[in-house]
Amino acid sequence: MDTSAIFVGITLILLFIIALILFIWYRERAKSDKELDEAYKTMEKLSKFDPITQLCNKTSMTDRIEIEMMRMGRTWRPFCLVMINVDNFRQIIDEFGRDCGNKILESLGIILVKTLRKQDAASRWEGEELLLLLPETSLEGGYIIAEKIRKAVEETAVTYGDITMTFTITLGVDVYSKLGPANHSIRKAAAALYEGIQRGRNIVVKSDDPDLDFSKYQELD
């Protein structure tokens, strides 16, 4: 056999093997990069969202409020903050367990996503308390949205194992309409919330309610 033909044949075989090795290496590299990218995305999501409600966490919501404050400073269009508390949450956990409480928080998160407008944001603030941000919304407009959420929750049944139950929420609403610390508005929404709890729960209370005595909630300062 011609030596040159043998050389060409061996060269082609070597090139094929090299090409195959490169193909396998690039495929594994692409797979590894994809997995790494997915891992980064998961980490980013965990850093911004609450794993139970799938809503923003407190840090992410604080950032959104600061952005909305800057927007309000330019446009002078107010925004509302709504504080939500799951009624009798501790009793629910004591009777049915922590997992049942998490199921209720998960259901509440789903209801909020379905009920709120696209521009609104919802977060798990602390424990069973959630905070809503309603851009370009007056106090009355915030009350209407809060009441819509309250009714939606009241009418929703939650299934946990063999148990089907309903739950209620209490909401406090305040409007951020002039420049200043956002914490002041958050405290007013919280005071309205606690006033609602004092009145029997399953109610929406606005911060301008004439019967709301903020001095009763000075510990919020």
Q: Give the pLDDT confidence of 143-197 residue by residue, as tens digits.
A: 999 999 999 999 999 999 999 999 999 999 999 988 888 999 999 999 999 999 9
HSE toward the beta carbon, residue 24, CA cutoff 13 A: 5
> Percent of the chain scored above 90 by pLDDT?
69
Confidence check: pLDDT of 41 > 60: no
Tens digit of pLDDT for each residue in 71-94? 988 889 999 999 999 999 999 999
Annotate 47-110 with DSSP letters as a single string.
HHB-TTT-SB-HHHHHHHHHHHHHHHHHH---EEEEEEEETTHHHHHHHH-HHHHHHHHHHHHH
pLDDT at 36: 46
Tens digit of pLDDT for each residue in 44-65? 554 689 999 999 999 999 999 9
Query: Rg of the chain's alpha carbons, rounded to an integer?
Result: 27
Tens digit of pLDDT for each residue in 136-158? 999 999 999 999 999 999 999 99
**Which amino acids are annotated catalytic?**
128
Q: Inter-axis angle of helices 3-48 and 58-75, to 10 degrees?
A: 70
208/191 Cα distance (integer angstroms)? 11
